[in-house]
Amino acid sequence: MLEDTALSLIFELMKERRYNRTTEEYAAIAAKLPPIKVLHGGVNDRLKQIAEIRAAPRLCHFQAREQHASFKAFPASISLEVVRSALVKSGMRTKQERRSRAPSV
């Protein structure tokens, strides 16, 4: 859910449409993405703007077999890991393996 919000804001920051694109168009957008920390800052700046003007929608969370939807407050900020996860899940970024630390001698 937060990943979807983050991805929408990333496309907004890039001034691109999120849907109805070819694979090549998505790849071109992914190639133009700034570093992850720049995206994270931009997404959090936009979330802060939304919160300040009090235009934040409530997020609806509903899963299969539930009888009632639950609503959460729109976030004022999100973590770097959420931004990274959104990009990986959407295919806009490849998951990178963690570097293992060299054993200390």
Report pLDDT for 101. Answer: 65
CA distances from 73 to 6, 41, 46, 58, 85 (A): 15, 20, 16, 5, 21
**Is 77 within 8 Å of 1 (Cβ atoms)?**
no
Number of domains in the chain: 1
Taking only the tens of pLDDT, the chain with its 105 residues reads 789 999 999 999 999 999 999 999 999 999 999 999 999 999 999 999 988 887 767 777 777 787 888 888 888 899 999 999 999 999 998 887 666 666 665
Judge whether 98 lies within some domain: no
Judge whether 18 lies within some domain: yes
Judge whether 21 lies within some domain: yes
pTM of the model: 0.79
Judge whether 100 lies within some domain: no
Judge whether 102 lies within some domain: no
Reference 46, options 13, 83, 95, 74; nearest CA is 13
Judge whether 41 lies within some domain: yes
Q: Domain residues for 47? A: 2-90
Q: β-strands 59-61, 70-72: how paired?
A: antiparallel
